[in-house]
Amino acid sequence: MRLYMQIPAADGSAPRYYHLHLQEDLLEGWNLVREWGHQGAGGRVIKDHYPDHDQAMEALVRLRDEQLRRGYRIVFAQGQEQP
């Protein structure tokens, strides 16, 4: 599952982005990778580990909903149907 969200710039600066995606690791767990920042500039990356896919998906949905409340809009979604 991969989600890419953006929020338009209010003051003429570059738009902000928020990217979430799930990666299965080699030890049968899942990583939720989140990256955010201004478009065209270096951003921040955090990886959170979860023991199973369901917990990782719950975290992804929670973060997605939080960003949608902040004004971000989904620009690109790939993978399973959006939860």
Outline where DSSP puts E strands in the chain: 2-7, 16-24, 30-38, 44-50, 73-78
Q: Which residue ranges of the chain lie beneath pLDDT 70?
A: 80-83
pLDDT digits (tens, 9 = 90+) for 13-29: 889 999 999 999 998 89
Give the whole-angstrom CA distance, residue 49 versus residue 60.
12
pTM for this predicted structure: 0.88
Phi/psi at 3 (5° precision): -130, 135
